[in-house]
Amino acid sequence: MDISTPFEENQDQLSPNRNIAPLTAALDKEKRLVVGGCRLSKLAEDYGTPLYVIDELTVRASCREYRDSLIKYYPGDSLPLYASKANSSLLLSSLVASEGMGIDVVSEGELITALKGGIPNHKIVFHGNNKSKDELLLAYKNDVKIVLDNQFDIDQLKEIVEPDVKKARLILRFTPGIECHTHEYIKTGHIDSKFGFDPDALNDIFIQLKDIEWGELVGLHAHIGSQIFEVEPHRDLAEVMVKALQKGRELGHSLEILNVGGGLGIRYTSSDDPPSIAHWVEVISNAVVEACNKRSLKLPFLMCEPGRSIVGTSGLTLYRIGSRKEIPGLKTYVAIDGGMSDNPRPITYQSSYTAVLVDKPLAKTNEIVTIAGKHCESGDVLLNDFPLPICSSGDVLAVFSTGAYNSSMSSNYNRIPKPAAVIVLEKTSEVIQRRELPEDLLRNDILPDRFMENVR
């Protein structure tokens, strides 16, 4: 394994998602790893471990590549939206807002975070396949665009909206018959998905929503997968969506917006080879323009919803190594002070990562170890049969590309507190999420009075 790849000369400054480490990853004079000008072992000492670290420059570079590529390649109006399910926080909401991006949310919590983080209301899109009435009401009152995922959404909105006050602005989601998962690409008439209307139902839905008093259908949305390394599926997606756009306009809807979703992959290991952000944007932009020109249609307002490719590469997680167990002739386990509660992706998706010891990242990898988490679960393994230098208790391990779907999917399994998160920039670090304390885990527990006699 080439461990120099994450932080040396191979960094592609124009395409953050094609790197393994953040753009600012470098070595100091003592050959120790630094990010954002901050020595990682010092961050572990100052803030404790496990610790999520976000590199601000990398997030901003990703946002700008989406924004600037859309301006360059798409001749109509456009807006990239940050898919906040990847990592939702006040800081990230504020950061992407400062770069001119919008955001998509899927819950009341994500919506409140976006609003309080400074995202303009008109740049927020609210998703979800089972939105509650309270969530819909919050989105409606805040003039957020609401994605119609099913008939249930339509029926609830009819009861909520006050047409004399204002109409709801609606985007219709449908399954496009295209499914893409990294190296697998399938086109079918129907995709088994819990999201969106069946494509055969579109005509009926367009008719149902025509001339409604409580809302206005302003756009279409479709999404074809996650961690995608291919661009061809998005050419097909554009054709399918523009065809639906034409049908909707013929049936009387303005349909100003075309939201093509997200899903662009990032590099977790040296074998991963995702297209650059700019290339992905170029392909989808050209495909939408071509499909519209073919039908003599006015170009729609183009939206996309990147999440992982905005924050994934910007993040890394620091752990401190603890116990060691050697099984002669079989395996050596090295345990860290975190695991599946702060990164559930390996046990859930069998995800692979790249990692180094932060104070000796260039040392010879002279043993194969399995990095195990501290949870009471045999499957709590972060890295299986992984090459590392000889390591000792107290050494700090950095696992790269953890900015997306780590913090947002974290849990308190075994009643382990969630890690702190810091953002780094120009040799400074700031806490953006406090570390939970063990006593914090009791804040929602209630002990009935009849059990109080057992309390110590």
d(CA 353, CA 338): 15
Helix (H) or strand (E) holding 26: strand 26-27
Task: Name the residues annotated as catalytic.
Answer: 376
DSSP class of residue 344 equals -
Own/partner contacts of 180-185, CB < 8 Å, gap of 24 or more, are 180/224, 180/225, 180/228, 180/230, 180/233, 180/263, 181/225, 181/226, 181/227, 181/228, 182/225, 182/227, 182/228, 182/229, 182/265, 183/229, 183/230, 185/230, 185/232, 185/233
Q: Let me know: does 215 contact 167? Beta carbons within 8 Å.
A: yes
Closest CA to 288 of 302, 277, 305: 302
310, HSE (Cβ side, Cα atoms, 13 Å): 31
Position 191: which residue type? Answer: I
Radius of gyration of the CA atoms of the chain, in A: 24
Per-residue three-class SS string for 87-115 = CCCHHHHHHHHHCCCEEEECCHHHHHHHH
E runs forming strands in 305-364:
315-327, 331-336, 355-357
Q: Let me know: does 196 contact 149? Beta carbons within 8 Å.
A: yes
Closest CA to 113 of 99, 103, 127, 101: 103
